[in-house]
Chain A
Amino acid sequence: MSTKHNERKTEPRLGIEGLSKNYLVRSEAIPALDGIDLTIEDGEFVAIVGSSGCGKSTLLRIIAGLETDYAGRVSLAGKSITGPGLDRGMVFQEHRLLPWLTVEQNVRFGLKTGYSGEVRKLVDEHLDLVGLSGFANAYPYQLSGGMAQRVAIARALVNQPELLLMDEPFGALDALTRIQMQQEVLRIRKAEKTTMILVTHDIDEAIFLGDRVVVMSSRPGRIKRVIKVDLPHPRDRGSYEFVKIRQEIYREFFKEAELPFSYAI
């Protein structure tokens, strides 16, 4: 569908070096991120897990260019990030669709050019990609949570970004829909070959989707461990290797929270 991966660069898709971020709360600096180093290669899928408030959203917002006040270096294909750009797409926890636009208009909203045959084709292709061709004229209030989130994914992908950022996109969905959406993401990734970063609370989701799982610790947010998931797709959540990686990640949280028997974070 896209032609953007013809050029191969030696620079990593995303490079983060010594990234720190403080929030000013009543003229007091509260550290949100501290000394983050992370390199993400072209086409890679990185999942980030960490307890609430550890700075996952902050990290994604910095990469997206929504937060520009930070220390350290964040670069895309070697170029420093100074603001938002069409080379990055973002899906938020809430779908953030424009309530007054139809599904089709919402997807088109992100496209620069006017209404032409080419635009029509791009929008149709992406609605097809997320399996919502039949809902082009529906309004967001007429969609289920999962459908709305799919539209948000289509909107983020329609500009064919190099990097797709997803901040707990399925956090509000029920377990069954979430699993369905995870398979959807795998399918989209195979079709589009977009580099993806996914923030999630769901460790299984992180292992199911990620080439690597980044475990973060909180206050201040640091990268605690990066775990490689070297399993072929589709991954079996019940397989020995899967369970082993899950236990490894749980152990990271046990150490921090000292809750040896609780699996919840």
Chain B
Amino acid sequence: MTSGSNRHLQTSLYVVQYFALLLILVVAWQALSDLGYIQPIILPPPSRVLATLWGMTTSGLLARHIGISVIRVLEGFGIAALLGLALGIGIGLSRTLDRMTGLLIQLIKPIPPIAWIPVAILWFGIGEQSKVYIIFLGAFFPVIINTIDGIRQTDHKLVEVARILEVSKSRFIWQVVLPGAFPTIMTGLRVGLMVAWMCVVAAELIAAGSGVGYLIMDARQLSQSDVVVVGMITIGVIGKLMDSLISLLEKRVITWKSVFSGV
């Protein structure tokens, strides 16, 4: 009889658990600032950050910066996803291609996107292209490496079934390999998008006049620590939203299994 209200109670408990840590941190941060333990120049109190955030939101300034950054990230990530998927599938399916590209991928992968800035400027100038290129680099490797990995983990038992039934190469790829690799590929896309978004600051180090990364660097030079924090929070929130969106998409597509979600 009480199961309805029990469930309600449980949902409320989960919501509290979800936000508790964040709330405690913010409250502590405010309290420590009020008590004078935290200098406003080092870290402005939440109240001031909120006021700045409100001001920048209502003036439309924040939305403009976010819009520009998101477009850059989507461009860079889009190219990385297309190229990473295509190459990853090719390399995953072909041992020869894997041997031929393996060393190059291993060597380029550890170079952080930020180290590419000088050559990016030389190759693409200081316009949009070089920024998109930096973002592309960040997203490309997670996508391609997870795609290759996912394909390599194809269940050999299902491969045997396909061999016995003599299914065509294309059916084998579309119905055995790719669905099996799909969760790993999705992880790659998810990580890729995350890294792409994280690279926005690095990309906007290149002579940018707008974007969230520019906002942060510009505010740093003007010692506007509250704007810096607003920029950082924006990056965090947008990143989290992108991640949620992609995992929602993943759940929509994977209808064939129930997922373990922790104890």
Q: Chain B, 163-177, contact with A by CB distance < 8 Å: what is the 0/1 string?
A: 111111001000110
With contact pairs A90-B164, A92-B157 given, residues A141 and B175 touching in the complex (Cβ less than 8 Å):
no
Tell me which residues across on chain B come within 8 A of A88, comparing CB atoms: 164
Tell me which residues across on chain A come within 8 A of B175, comparing CB atoms: 98, 100-101, 109
Tell me which residues across on chain A come within 8 A of B256, comparing CB atoms: 99-101, 139-141
State how many angstroms separate the Cβ of A57 from the closest Cβ of chain B. Answer: 12
Which residues 123-143 of A have a CB within 8 angstroms of B? 139-141
Which residues 237-263 of B have a CB within 8 angstroms of A? 254-258
With contact pairs A139-B255, A139-B256, A141-B258 given, residues A109 and B160 touching in the complex (Cβ less than 8 Å):
no
Chain B contact residues: helix, strand, loop or mixed: helix
CA distance A89 to B160 in the complex (A): 12
B31 near A: Cβ within 8 Å? no
Nearest B residue to A140, CB-CB: B256
Q: Tell me if B166 and A86 are in contact (CB < 8 A).
A: yes
Task: Identify which of A83, A94, A98, A139 gathers the most chain B CB atoms within 10 Å of its CB.
Answer: A98
CA distance A89 to B164 in the complex (A): 7
Nearest A residue to B161, CB-CB: A96
Q: Which 6 A-B pairs have the closest CB atoms?
A: A110-B165, A100-B179, A100-B256, A84-B164, A139-B256, A84-B163
7 additional A-B residue pairs with CB within 8 Å, beyond A98-B161, A100-B175, A139-B257: A66-B163, A84-B165, A84-B166, A99-B179, A100-B256, A101-B175, A101-B256
29 A-B pairs with C-beta separation under 8 A: A65-B164, A66-B160, A66-B164, A83-B163, A84-B165, A84-B166, A86-B166, A88-B164, A92-B157, A92-B161, A96-B157, A98-B158, A98-B161, A98-B176, A98-B179, A99-B257, A100-B175, A100-B180, A100-B182, A100-B254, A109-B167, A109-B171, A109-B175, A112-B168, A139-B255, A139-B257, A140-B256, A141-B256, A159-B165
